[in-house]
Structure 1
Amino acid sequence: MEGRVIFTGAQVTQFQEHQTKTQRVSSPSAMPPPKESFARRYKFLWPMLLAVNLAVGAYLFVQTKKKDEHIKEEGATPVSISPAKTAPIAEKTLHTPSITKPVKLWEPIPEDRQCELFKWILEEKRKIKPKDPEDKKHIDEEKAILKQFIRVKPIPSI
């Protein structure tokens, strides 16, 4: 019986009591420590992040300065060019071949459908809420024209 240890009943109960005591004592104090925030956990990264950010900002600033100096050296103004100088150039570049599509002729709309269409447009104009007095005046003029078209019996062709 080599390697075997035999415990007596008293030793087993003593071991079990010891286990329960250590479990009771350790369980309340075994709470996990509070988790650190992201900023504190990676606090060594903040100075590096600031340095990289400043370096990129300085690089972009220097590059735009170089471009501005380059434009000033050439004598060109970055703001605008006088219209007299651009007019002849624009005329030369506008010579593109024009592509014309054949005009599609639609069948005329019957008078009763035109009348229905004008009434529908008038209803939609009545639903519009004007934003200012000028807009209201414009809408009222359009509604007056639509009312004239609706009242005329031989509706003019559009």
Structure 2
Amino acid sequence: MSSEAPKLYVHKPKKAQLKKHLQQLRSSPSPSPSPSPSSSSVPSSTSVIPPKLPPAQPKATQPNESFARRFKFLWPLLLAVNLSVGAYVFMRTKKKDNTEEEVAAVSPSPISLISTVSVEEPVKEREPISLVEQHELYNWILEEKRKLKPKNPEEKKKIDEEKAILKQFIRAKSPPSL
């Protein structure tokens, strides 16, 4: 076996180009048969004419090659950029959550800031609610508690206790003042 590596065609012509070239060779006059090397001591220069093929198209403009294969060097770059942008967005939102929690833990509540800055206003006295209105209010609250759908047994127990207290207020001769 020969030690030569197989020859690779960098600019391999297409079948259509080869057919055109063969048709041109057939239509043109054929060269005379080459004389045998033993008959003459000087080899003739016209003995073998190498076929002239039209230049092949550049690789980038070949229509049969897909876009992904033509720019395959871009895929790792695209993947790296995509991952880095994703990591940046993820860390940025995580950092915002942490800072909001820290600010809430460190800074005093806005209500306390307002109360320390503003002048305290006197508490306004409201008119007392009549017994009839209190009774109606307790009945309304009881109806709303009956409409609630408990999600678990603990919540059901809590609602039942609140309803029992409301029933006591409704039955009492003098309900507690509001």
- Asked if TM exceeds 0.5, the reply is no
Q: TM-score if structure 1 supplies the norm length?
A: 0.44
Which structure has more helix as a fraction of its residues? 1
Q: TM-score if structure 2 supplies the norm length?
A: 0.39
